């Protein structure tokens, strides 16, 4: 015990750092503190104590990819934290966006404005990612404190139509945009429910039961080269690709996600298809793992 305390003590001391020359102007500590307060309040207001409940959501995809659905629905029944039933198509959805500022985020300004006719406070910030810098903005309702929108680079999430649930509030409408194109919008509701039929949480007769892995180790990269820059430029485009790493360590079932520059989608998929990984391991046996990959094009 003494050794543990002794080793922990140095972690409490102040650290000396130097300001990066490329970070200008210097961040205002009071501005940073106010930005953190606004965002943490917005998160607190939308984190309810979850009783037994039933959640519904309908969502639409304005421009689905070939072969994908243009709309779907999700229903979640919860009796206890370990007794749940999900019925969904397309993919799982979250009831609200929650975020926080990281040390790599530099608060630039807090601006009073209006959104959809209501007073709002918008936090402008930059995020430093290695040799890259990305602009962003978080807007909260000035009176009620709810999170209204979050923009990170080209991606924006908008939340509105908040409704009361238990001890908090949740957004009844969510939109996701990339650049000026809406990718998804969701209408949702949640109600307290305890009177589920006895058979509601039973496995369907034709269900395929999978057991979770008792000892799982994630796949990790072995050879993941990025595209060679074509010109000297400060511009960088990052494309996310979703897929899986197979038991052989090779990426498969690849699809570019939320591409602000569609002309890079095919090349990003081609690049990831050449990568190699050490496969995920389940009880020391190779296993398949879903994963998101990032390809960065500099000077293209």
Q: Is 193:53 a contact under the CB 8 Å cutoff?
A: yes
Give the range with max mean pLDDT: 23-27, 80-84, 102-106.
Answer: 102-106
Based on the fold, state whether residues 187 and 223 are members of the same structural domain: no
Tell me, yes or no, whether 75 lies in a domain. yes
CA distance 119 to 32: 21
Tell me, yes or no, whether 281 lies in a domain. yes
Per the structure, the complete domain to which residue 229 belongs is given by: 216-298
Segment 95-112 mean pLDDT: 86
CATH number for 233: 3.30.2420.10
The whole model's pTM is what? 0.67
**pLDDT at position 2:** 32
Helix (H, G, I), strand (E, B) or coil at 245: strand
Tell me, yes or no, whether 83 lies in a domain. yes
Based on the fold, state whether residues 118 and 153 are members of the same structural domain: yes
Based on the fold, state whether residues 184 and 233 are members of the same structural domain: no
Based on the fold, state whether residues 61 and 118 are members of the same structural domain: yes
Based on the fold, state whether residues 258 and 114 are members of the same structural domain: no
Based on the fold, state whether residues 161 and 267 are members of the same structural domain: no
Question: 41 Cβ partners below 8 Å, 6+ apart?
Answer: 140, 145
CA distance 41 to 136: 19
Among 74-88, 99-113, 122-136, the least confident range: 74-88
Based on the fold, state whether residues 186 and 223 are members of the same structural domain: no
Tell me, yes or no, whether 103 lies in a domain. yes
**pLDDT at position 238:** 87
Segment 39-68 mean pLDDT: 85
CA distance 5 to 7: 5
Q: Token pair 């009071």 is at which residue? A: 30
Tell me, yes or no, whether 203 lies in a domain. no
Q: Token pair 């139509």 is at which residue? A: 161
Based on the fold, state whether residues 182 and 137 are members of the same structural domain: yes
Tell me, yes or no, whether 79 lies in a domain. yes
Would you give the DSSP letter of residue 105? Answer: E
Tell me how many domains the chain contains: 2
Based on the fold, state whether residues 88 and 174 are members of the same structural domain: yes
Based on the fold, state whether residues 57 and 186 are members of the same structural domain: yes
Based on the fold, state whether residues 131 and 57 are members of the same structural domain: yes
Q: Token pair 């994908």 is at which residue? A: 68
Question: 165 Cβ partners below 8 Å, 6+ apart?
Answer: 48, 53, 190, 192
Based on the fold, state whether residues 81 and 135 are members of the same structural domain: yes
């Amino acid at each position: 015990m003494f050794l543990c305390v002794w080793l922990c003590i140095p972690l409490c001391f102040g650290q000396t750092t130097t300001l990066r020359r490329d970070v200008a102007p210097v961040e205002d500590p009071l501005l940073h503190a106010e930005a953190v307060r606004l965002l943490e309040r917005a998160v607190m207001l939308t984190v309810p104590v979850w009783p037994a409940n039933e959640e519904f959501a309908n969502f639409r995809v304005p421009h689905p990819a070939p072969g994908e659905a243009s709309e779907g629905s999700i229903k979640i029944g919860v009796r206890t934290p370990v007794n749940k039933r999900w019925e969904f198509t397309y993919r799982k959805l979250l009831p609200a966006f929650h975020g926080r500022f990281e040390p790599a985020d530099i608060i630039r300004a807090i601006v009073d404005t209006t959104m959809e006719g209501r007073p709002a406070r918008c936090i402008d910030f930059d995020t430093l990612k290695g040799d890259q810098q990305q602009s962003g903005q978080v807007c909260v309702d000035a009176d009620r404190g709810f999170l209204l929108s979050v923009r990170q680079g080209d991606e924006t999430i908008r939340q509105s139509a908040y409704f009361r649930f238990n001890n908090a509030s949740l957004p009844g409408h969510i939109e996701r945009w990339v650049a000026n194109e809406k990718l998804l919008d969701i209408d949702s509701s949640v109600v307290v429910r305890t009177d589920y039929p006895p058979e509601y949480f039973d496995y369907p007769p034709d269900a395929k039961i999978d057991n979770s892995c008792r000892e799982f180790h994630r796949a990790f990269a072995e050879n993941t080269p990025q595209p060679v820059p074509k010109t000297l430029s400060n511009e960088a485009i990052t494309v996310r690709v979703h897929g899986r790493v197979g038991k052989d360590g090779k990426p498969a079932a690849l699809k570019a996600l939320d591409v602000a520059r569609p002309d890079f989608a095919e090349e990003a998929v081609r690049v990831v298809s050449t990568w190699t990984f050490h496969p995920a391991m389940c009880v020391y046996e190779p296993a398949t793992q879903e994963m998101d990959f990032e390809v960065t094009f500099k000077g293209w």
